[in-house]
Structure 1
Amino acid sequence: MAKMCGWRCAWTSVTVLMGLTGAWAPETFISLEQSTWQISRSQPSVLEILPHRPSPSKCKPRHRTHPPDHTEESHQEYSRPASRIDHSVPHRRGVMAPGRGAVRLLTTAICIGLYSHCLAVPQELTDVEKVAALSKLQSQSSDGVIQLTKEVFDRYIVGPARPFTLYVLADALHMRNQGNMKLGQVAREYGLVASTLRKATPGKVFLTRAEFTSEKELFGKLGIVSLPHLALIPPSLPVGAAQAVGLTKDHAMPLNDYPWSAETIAGWVMETAGLPAVEINRPSLLKSRFAPVFMLLFMASAAVLGYRLYHAPFLRHTWIYMAGSLVIYWFSVSGGMYIIIRGMPFVQFDQRTRSSNLFLPGQGQLGAEGYIMGTQYLLFGLAVAAGTHLLPRVRDSAARRRLGYALIAGGALLMRSIMGTHHWKTGMTTHWY
């Protein structure tokens, strides 16, 4: 359609130009050898066309012939009507009248301007051209995700309908490492889905990403007010150039299973697009052709290392096992597995007070809180163990007394801190029996 409109504009402009410049009207031209332009003395403002008097010899230079004295006969000869032309000699193409030349020059300039404007106006692309352009952008991306900008949106998405289904992931580079949002992890999983669908469903589904910092206007047009957000633009949904896109809650991916994995995103995408499910191709070392060789090398190295450690002299010392048991105890009472599985942040930044919080009220806990409480549990247990096993071995009674008082005071302070934190988080008071 765009090419056809361009050819029509070109043909129309060429036709008008040929008609206006006299290419089809040779009778509008007058030969330079047959007429000359002179100004009558009686009417200096009137342009007249006078028959040219040929020179006896064409080799000699022509001299300007001055009009004779202003007599009655000369006045009649040089004051002929401007429209009187000698038609006895056949006309040939030459110089046209100055009045018509100025008009035609102006008309030519106007036609050229209209033709340039016709070519400059962007024409609406067809569905095939839109799919081809988006497929090219998809192939140029490393992970198959198209960077959605306002220009791309207005060029390929705006319209009453589309032959493809579009998905938009809202992203913000400055918030990828904040708390539980995990935008960076979701972006990587989204890229795995895009790379898989690029080969499985070419031209049917396009996955795009919109960045908040550079595309704030596009966020407002799509109605994205919070993150994370993954939106669907169906093929039949009309999208206007100046109006907001009419997306509803049904066009957004649910947040039940957030952070979304690649399999979760692919399942929702294929279900909403009406396409069969696909298997996500995750890059893995086990899928490599050299995986059996790596497995054999790993097993051989592990066997040699285990044999050498078993016969190493330092493994005969009991303090190594004591330290290992204390580390395991500290990791257990700190809730290390809970922090790793839940992905709890180490600290929480408060926007109102502009400070970092180490403790959270309620049932949840941060990473720093768990490790601090685990350290208090470990120190209290070491104080009790020292009072029952180390203190009786001190022979000096005064030193034994001072050490006992120090262990009791330290244990009491640790117990008070642990009980106070428990009461602050749960509201429950510890009863002594």
Structure 2
Amino acid sequence: MELKIPRVLLLLLLVAVAALISLSSAASPTADDLVAELETLRSQSPSGVIHFDDSSVARFLTSAPLPRPYSLLVFFGASKPDHHLRRLRSEFALVSSSFAAHHASSRRVFFCDLEYQESESSFSLFGVTSLPDIRHVGPQHRSLRDSDRMDQSDFSGLAASMAQFVEAKTSLPVGPIVRPSLISPRQIAFLAVALLISAPFLIKRILEGKTMLHDRRLWMGLTVSVYFLGVAGLMHNIIHKIPMYVKDRKDPNRLIFFVKGFGMQLGAEGFAVGFLYTIVGLIVAFATHVLVRMRNEAVQRGFLLAAMLVVFWAVRKVIYLHNWKTGYTVHTFWPTRWR
């Protein structure tokens, strides 16, 4: 007996199979679809950093077939970060934009960020217990806990250290870090116009000798200030955006001004050392320019003894701070003939 299937039923069966095939293909995007979607999200961000949440982690990491056709650099942050975490996030954005500018045609490395308040389960998948944290998820990483983690000591280098981490994990150079200009073109034009307008009046006062530039006390104060700011590392703090202090993670009401370890230095440490160096410099200047002109030898000896004690105290504090941060000590070596 021959079984005959109605044409209408056969047509419906074919339509159902086609629908199932289309649904399965839509539910499981191809590698090119994932890359194209990441590129679209990256183009919508000014810095190129894609904002992830739990659904994004599931789509592009946990559900994506291995090996993935891309690598992800993930920055872990908070919805209300402190000043230090916000600065690290901005440095991460600089690395992302610099990488995009150097690799305009690269489709395989993407920069992302996650916030704890909206992606708590993703933090658990990565095993993140403290902030800041940066991870590299390569194409072969099956478990997110096994992703490459940036060392905590490297965060002091900010964008430069992040760029080294990216280069080490992706084998691609980040390129020069492109930082935005502190002064906008409009501000530069305004300053130029103001300078041109005031130039005749300034030149007249300079020729007449009626400006502050002719005051020796001004130049002396500027000299001491430049020396103090130079030995205190002010330019280093400005370029790398080093904070003066940080809040204690265990006690938010407590401020930390000195951090142990040579991998991190706060602005307060530099200013403390700069203050000690400035004291020594002023004492040497006083002894060589003022003390030598005193005629009373007793007064000279008294001032010189006090100056030596203050200089010894300042140098001792600098050596103590260096030993506390690095563990290196200063040893006294006597000549062989004196032993």
Q: TM-score, normalised by structure 1?
A: 0.49
Q: SS of the residue aligned with 2:48? A: coil
Higher relative contact order (CA 8 A, sep 6+): 2
For residues 92-133 of structure 1, the C-alpha deviation after alignment (integer angstroms, 9 at most, x for no partner) is: xxxxxxxxxxxxxxxxxxxxxxxxxxx9x9972322554454
**Equivalent position to 1:415, from 311, 320, 337:** 311
Q: Which position in structure 2 is the counterpart of 1:313? A: 210
Aligned partners of 2:319, 2:176: CA distance in 1, in Å?
A: 50
Number of residue equivalences? 298
Between the aligned partners of 2:103 and 2:242, the Cα distance in structure 1 is: 35
How far off is 1:154 after superposition?
Answer: 1.6
* Residue 8 in structure 1 maps to residue 40 in structure 2: no
Cα distance in 2 for residues equivalent to 1:277 and 1:349 = 31
Name 1:150's counterpart in structure 2.
Answer: 54
Structure 2 equivalent of residue 183 of structure 1: 88
Deviations 1:125-150 (A, max 9, x none): 32255445444433443333221111
Deviation of the 1:231 alpha carbon: 0.5
Q: How does 1:111-130 map to 2 (within 5 A)?
A: 124-127=27-30, 129-130=33-34
Superposed CA offset, 1:369-407 (max 9, x none):
223303422442355243333x44xxxxxxx79976874
Amino acid paired to 1:368: F
Distance 1:362 1:168 in 2: 26
The SS at the match of 2:137 is strand
Residues 356 and 198 of structure 1: CA distance in aligned 2, closer, same or farther (over 3 Å) = closer
Structure 1 308/386 Cα, relative in aligned 2: closer, same or farther at 3 Å?
Answer: same
Aligned twin of 2:277: 374
Deviation at 1:313, TM superposition (A): 1.6
Structure 2 residue 62 is the aligned partner of structure 1 residue 165: no
Classify 1:155/1:372 alpha carbon distance in 2 versus 1 (closer, same or farther; 3 Å): same
Shift, 1:152, TM fit? 1.4
SS of 2:113 mapped into structure 1: strand
Distance 1:345 1:124 in 2: 47
Counterpart CA distance in 1 for 2:19 and 2:284 is: 95
1:259 correspondence with 2:163? no
Report Cα offsets for 1:140-184 as digits up to 9, x if no partner.
Answer: 4333322111111223431324764131322324666449x9523
Distance 1:326 1:309 in 2: 26
Counterpart for residue 200 of structure 1: 105
* Distance (whole Å) between structure 2 residues aligned to residue 163 and residue 267 of structure 1: 19
Paired residues for 1:282-431 under 5 Å: 307=203, 310-311=206-207, 312-314=209-211, 315-332=213-230, 334=232, 346-347=244-245, 354=254, 356-357=256-257, 366-381=269-284, 383-384=286-287, 385-389=289-293, 391-392=294-295, 407=303, 410-422=306-318, 424=320, 425=323, 426-428=329-331
SS state of the match for residue 313, structure 2? helix
- Structure 1 residues 298 and 198, CA gap change in structure 2 (3 angstroms): farther
Q: Is the partner of 1:221 in helix, strand or coil?
A: helix
Does residue 245 (structure 1) correspond to residue 144 (structure 2)? The answer is yes
**CA distance 1:198–1:188, change in 2 (3 Å):** same
For 1:231, the aligned partner's letter is H
Change (3 A) 1:224 1:364: closer
Q: Judging changes above 3 Å, is the alpha-carbon distance between structure 1 residues 301 and 161 closer, same or farther for their aligned structure 2 residues?
A: farther
**Would the aligned equivalents of 1:232 and 1:252 in 2 still touch at CA under 8 Å?**
no
In 2, the alpha carbon distance for the partners of 1:260 and 1:186 equals 5
Return the offset for 1:224: 4.7
State which structure, 1 or 2, has the greater radius of gyration over its C-alpha atoms.
Answer: 1
Give ranges in structure 2 of 5+ residues lacking alignment: 1-12, 324-328, 335-339
CA distance in 2, matches of 1:374, 1:135: 52
Instruction: Look up the match of 2:4.
Output: none
Deviation at 1:189, TM superposition (A): 1.4
Q: SS at the partner of 1:171?
A: strand
RMSD: 5.6
C-alpha distance in 1 between matches for 2:301 and 2:91: 55
8 A Cα contact 2:48 2:93, kept in partner: no
List aligned pairs for 1:214-229, cutoff 5 A: 214-224=118-128, 227-229=132-134
